[in-house]
Amino acid sequence: MREQPVDTMTVEVAYALPHKQMIISIVVKTGTTAQEAIQQSGIMQVFPGISLESSNIGIFGKAVSLHAVLHPLDRVEIYRPLMADPKEARRMRAALTPRKNNAGKSQPADSTTKAAKIGQPKTENG
């Protein structure tokens, strides 16, 4: 491994689509911002659909601004917009998946469970 000048550091820039992912390792000057690293990496030429104005970015999964100053070995991640609200998507998946009862038998997803019946007024039969 070559020695780097004291005023430089190595960082990575990452972007992923469902069918293609890329992490580019580059050497930048100390004090480089996330936006500068993204531009210097050339990743926007590989993925021309990237729009820094509408994309969120982060460093190792933690959201940061484009003006965040990088540290050695940071990985700048460019995030794609969400296609659906994660909570709503989970609700929809849960509604389509049959649930197991205590005996291990499947129940329709919309059946009322015993826990859901607690607190309901008793009827003559129940």
| CATH number of the domain within which 62 lies | 3.10.20.30
| Whether residue 73 is found in the same domain as residue 15 | yes
Pull the structure tokens for residue 96. Answer: 């389509």
Look at residue 123 and tell me if it is in a domain.
Answer: no
Q: Do the beta carbons of residue 41 and residue 13 sit within 8 Å?
A: yes
pLDDT in tens, 21-49: 999 999 999 999 999 999 999 999 999 98
* pLDDT, tens only, 51-76: 888 899 999 999 999 999 999 999 99
Is residue 40 located within the same domain as residue 94? no
Give the mean pLDDT of the chain.
83
Q: Residue 12 sits in which domain range?
A: 8-79
Instruction: Give, as one character, the DSSP assignment of residue 103.
Output: T
Q: Is 1 part of any domain?
A: no
Helix, strand, or coil (residue 56): strand
pLDDT value of position 79: 94
Q: Residue 119 pLDDT more than 80?
A: no
User: pTM score, two decimals?
Assistant: 0.64
The reply to whether 73 and 17 lie within a common domain is yes
Is 122 part of a structural domain of the chain?
no
* Same domain (yes/no): 74, 90: no
Q: Are residues 71 and 23 in the same domain?
A: yes
Q: Number of folded domains in the chain?
A: 2
